[in-house]
Amino acid sequence: MNKLKTILVYLWAPFANLLWYTHTVVMATISLLLWPFDRTGAMQHWCARWWCRLVAWSIFARIRVHGTENVRSDQNYVYMANHSSLIDTPALFAYLPYQFRIMAKKELFLIPFMGWHLWTAGNFPIDRSDPRKTAKSLRSVIEGVRAGKSLAVFPEGTRTPDGKLQEFKHGAFKIALRAGVPIVPVSIRGTFKLLPKTTLAPRPGRVEVIIGEPIETREYSEKNLGELIARTRDAIEANLQIESKELKVEASV
């Protein structure tokens, strides 16, 4: 039976990847058409949410979200999530309940359709060509978060090679600290089994997105930044380990 499932996964993989690209082109085009009518980014975020739901359906990923009561519509945050798979981004966009933006290297904003959507939706390009330009890009992110935009980041910086939580980089925590907004730990479970870093053949399965309680940053400074990082990492790790039966399902796709 397992051998048959593996064969089916690899037979479906080319179609799943083709659908992924097709969904990107279609929803990005709709996003671009809507952009002149709404410069707040709300319509673009709606397009991104439905793009991610279509991606989930095409790879037979069943996404469930927990803990939406921990965040409010009148507060902006820096969401910090573990990073196990390419499916993590669709999982976040599909069911985090309120608008947010992401950071991405500047070159991605030049890619047709996806990059155009990133620009018009108000996401943050990071110029890594030299330290001065990188610092300027990060100042723009901080200003955007201070102005009321929420931000979603993967503090590990890259996908885990073995499914285990990696060490967190400092940059995203400094953004939250300097912007003076709470950090929301988000635990994404199941995506490593569906699509690990070593393959492009997605497997069907269940994904759980667990939104933790916000962590206030005002009691921290750069002198005790390590404590803030450890607290956030521990919160994400704890929800990765919790039993599924203890979770209340609030939404699913």
Please state, in angstroms and rounded to a whole number, the distance separating the CA atoms of residues 83 and 10.
23
| Nearest C-alpha neighbor of 188 from the set 50, 49, 46, 64 | 64
Residue 247: per-residue pLDDT = 59
pTM: 0.90
If you write DSSP's letter for every residue of 150-210 in order, what string do you get? -EEE-TT-S--SSSS--PPPSHHHHHHHHHT--EEEEEEESHHHHS-TT-S-PPPEEEEEE
Provide the 3-class DSSP secondary structure of residue 103. Answer: strand
Q: How far apart are CA 129 and CA 82, in angstroms?
A: 26
Cα(141)–Cα(104) distance, integer angstroms: 11
User: What's the pLDDT at 190?
Assistant: 94
Write out the DSSP string of 203-227.
Answer: PPEEEEEEE---B--TT--GGGHHH
Q: Which two tokens stand for residue 232?
A: 């956030």
pLDDT of the residue at 21: 87
Cα 65 from Cα 234, distance rounded (Å): 20
How far CA 205 is from CA of 11, 59, 61, 111, 253, in Å, comes to: 17, 9, 5, 30, 12
**What single DSSP character describes residue 149?**
-
Axis crossing angle, helix 88-95 with helix 42-58, rounded to the nearest 10: 130
Backbone angles phi, psi at 225, to 5 degrees: -60, -35
Residue 132 confidence (pLDDT): 92
Write the single-letter amino acid at 246: E
Under 8 Å between Cβ of 53 and 40:
no
Q: Give the separation between CA 252 and CA 28, rounded to whole angstroms.
A: 23
What confidence score (pLDDT) does residue 229 get? 97
Supply the CATH number for residue 114's domain.
Answer: 3.40.1130
Looking at residue 130, its amino acid is: D
- What residues make up the domain containing 164? 2-252
Of 213, 211, 195, 215, nearest to 249 by C-alpha is 211
pLDDT by position in tens, the chain (length 253):
577 777 777 788 888 888 888 998 899 999 989 988 887 888 889 999 999 999 999 999 999 999 999 999 999 999 999 999 999 999 999 889 999 999 999 999 999 888 888 988 999 999 988 889 999 999 999 999 999 999 999 999 999 999 999 999 999 999 999 999 999 999 999 999 999 998 888 999 999 999 999 999 999 999 999 999 999 999 999 999 976 555 555 555 5
d(Cα 198, Cα 162) in Å, to the nearest integer?
A: 10
Check residue 113 and give its pLDDT. Answer: 87
C-alpha closest to that of 185 among 142, 147, 239? 239
Q: Into how many domains does the chain fold?
A: 1
- Whether residue 225 contacts residue 215, with contact meaning beta carbons closer than 8 Å, is answered with no
Lookup: tokens for 110? 């030049």
